[in-house]
Structures are given as structure tokens and as C-alpha cells.
Amino acid sequence: MKPLISVIIPVYNVEKYLDQCLSSVIEQSFNNIEILCINDCSTDSSLKILEKFSAKDPRIKIINNQQNLKAGLSRNIGIKEAKGEYIHFLDSDDWLEDNAYKKLAECINRNPNIDVIRFRYIQHNLPRKTSEEEVFPNRVCLNKITNIYKEPCCVQNWATNPWCKLHNTKFIQNNNLFFNDYCCMEDTQQALKVILKANEVYFLDDVLINYRLNREDSIMSKHLDNITYLIKDMHWLNYTVSELEQLTKIEILNYFYRIFIPYIFDAYYSNKINYSKLQETLEKAIDSEIIKEGFANDSKYLYQLYEYSKKSSAYKFFIKYKLKRFIKDHFPNYTNAYFKIKKRITKC
């Protein structure tokens, strides 16, 4: 029988987390799935763990890369090998909620022509040892078929992460919606292409997956300051949306700007770019008129960041911002006391 869902899992040196990830997949109540594990030249015991699980579950297929290709290209291999009607990209350090695939299968049965289902997740911040359940910011677009052209505001509920979506396999293959070969941020452009191409998007208001944030040895933690790829994606997006209806253009660009601008500022703060480069990047890549129009649609934070980039006191702003965030992250019990004292000193 043809599987309904192909689960594509890139695997690279995740021996601490892989057992939990795979267990959450094979123990799903919905079992009409195939599991494609792309071992990306792991040097730890990840391959042994894959072989152990494969020996007891014939749904698991191991594909060994001949060279380290990173997550994006490994997912592309899975796309080409997938036999399921739908694809779920699962990261090897994350894990599924019980009955996740059963709920997705039920959603497909109700909406047989769906292109992509976007669902919610729980984010586990490892350094802080905290967990937070994602909430969709726009409630208008939930639990129904929509797209960015019918309801531009639905992009507010979108995500660049592929693991919180289920994709129709033919939709992905026929529209060439593959991942870039970037060493990080490889999913951003793919996610934008998906939302721009999809006719039937379903925002499922259920938590189906658990996501580990800020794992010490993750690719993202090592390349957080690398904005080269985002700048490429920004120029691509500016060109791609140039002919779109204005409201749709505002929503999709503001969505990306919310990702893009903080990365630029972080690169400045960590001395990866200087102030003139910060300003130049923002001026070349960002359409300030779009931001001003979007300001009326709750882009306050974005607009303030953009405006601040034009001022010479950016360094002082970041010192205050980072100090506040550092205290809040590492000394939460003293946060209120600190700022009360600071307020009194300022008044003196």
C-alpha cells in the first residue's frame, strides 16, 4: 500500500536526541507512513541508532550521503525518494506529539486537494530550560482552506521552518520547491516559495511537534551571525513580489523583514559588520515605503528597528538592549529589582 506520509529526517551527529525522535515517529497511532532517514556522514553513533531502529521497523529506510551535504540538500534527496502522497520534514533533534499524524490524516481526508498544512509547536529553549507553546497571531485564517492571495494576512501565521508543515508531495515536486544549498537558513526561501505557490493552505490550530531551540552543537547556533544568505533571499524576494497586489506584497515583505532586520542588528552587535555596512544593507535590501504602509498593520517593532538604523547612536541602543536581555535571561529574579534601582538612579 502506498504510504500517505513520507517522513524525511536529515541526520547528523544527534546521538543524544535521535532515539526520542525516532520513537515518537514509529509509535504514532497512524502507521501508513514511510520514514526516510538521510544520514549526512555522521561521525558519532547516529548511524548505529538508525540501524537499530531500522532492524525492528521495516518502514525505516536509511540513505547514506557520500559527503556532508547539510540539511537542505539532504531533504532534497528525501523529496526525490518519497513515495508518500504527503511529506513531513522532521528534524532529528525534535519529536512528535502523540497522534500527530492521525490528526494530519484526518485533515487531509476533509480537504483532499490541500497543498500544505501548517500546525503549531512547542518550543523548548535548552539554555533557559523553558518551554513555550506557539500561538497563531492571526485567528481569522485558522482551520479552513485559504491562501495568501485570498487573505494576505494569513502570512502572519506562516513559518520558515519546514518541520511545522505537511506538504503535498506532487505540489513540492511539480513546482520545484526544493531547498537551497546554504549551510544554514536553507529553508527560508523554500518556505516563501511555498506560500507564494500554494492554492490551498490549511492552518491547523493544534500543537503536533516539539522543537529544540539553541542546541549547542546545532548548525544555527554556529552560524547565527551569517546574514549572507538572508541578503540573497531578500533581493530574490524583492524581485519576486514586484508584480503582486500591494496588500499581498506588504504582508509578505513585512513577514520577511521581521526575520531579516533583527539578524542584521545582531550581526552589527557581534562586530560582524560595522555601522556603515548595517545602514547600507538596510537601505539596499529594504523597501522603506512598504514598511511605512505596513506600519498601520502592526509593524511597530519592525518600523522602530528600521528607523533606528538611520541614527548614529545605534551602539548605545544595543548596549541597553543586550544588557536588559542578558539580565532577563540569566537573572530573571533580579530583573524587576534592577530596573527599579536604575529608574531611581536616573531620576537623581
Domains of the chain, first to last: 5-216 (3.90.550.10), 228-312 (no CATH)
Output the nine-digit C-alpha cell for 56.
525492528
Residue whose cell numbers read 492571495: 149
What is the pTM (predicted TM-score) of this model? 0.84
Mean pLDDT, rounded, for 25-40: 98
Residue whose cell numbers read 538521510: 38
Q: Give the C-alpha separation, 57 to 39, whole Å.
A: 17
pLDDT in tens, 136-177: 999 999 999 999 999 999 999 999 999 999 999 999 999 999
Q: Give the C-alpha separation, 210 to 129, whole Å.
A: 14
Length of the chain, in residues: 348
Q: Give the C-alpha separation, 66 to 11, whole Å.
A: 13
Task: Outline where the chain has alpha helix (H).
Answer: 18-26, 46-56, 70-81, 100-110, 169-174, 188-197, 219-222, 228-240, 246-269, 275-285, 288-294, 300-308, 314-330, 335-347
Output the nine-digit C-alpha cell for 312.
548614529
Q: Is the pLDDT at 326 greater than 70, yes or no? A: no
Comparing 306 with 55, the larger pLDDT belongs to 55
Output the nine-digit C-alpha cell for 120.
503549531
Q: Give the C-alpha separation, 119 to 329, whole Å.
A: 28
pLDDT of 192:
96
pLDDT in tens, 293-313: 777 666 666 777 676 665 545
Comparing 187 with 312, the larger pLDDT belongs to 187
Q: Is the pLDDT at 221 greater than 50, yes or no? A: no
Comparing 346 with 124, the larger pLDDT belongs to 124
**To the nearest whole number, what is the mean pLDDT of the chain?**
86
Q: Is the pLDDT at 194 greater than 80, yes or no? A: yes
pLDDT in tens, 84-140: 999 999 999 999 999 999 999 999 999 999 999 999 999 998 767 889 999 999 999
Q: Is the pLDDT at 223 greater than 70, yes or no? A: no
CA atoms within 13 A on the CB side of 90: 32
Kindly indicate the confidence band of residue 334, based on its pLDDT and cuts at 50, 70 and 90. Answer: low
Kindly indicate the confidence band of residue 220, based on its pLDDT and cuts at 50, 70 and 90. Answer: very low
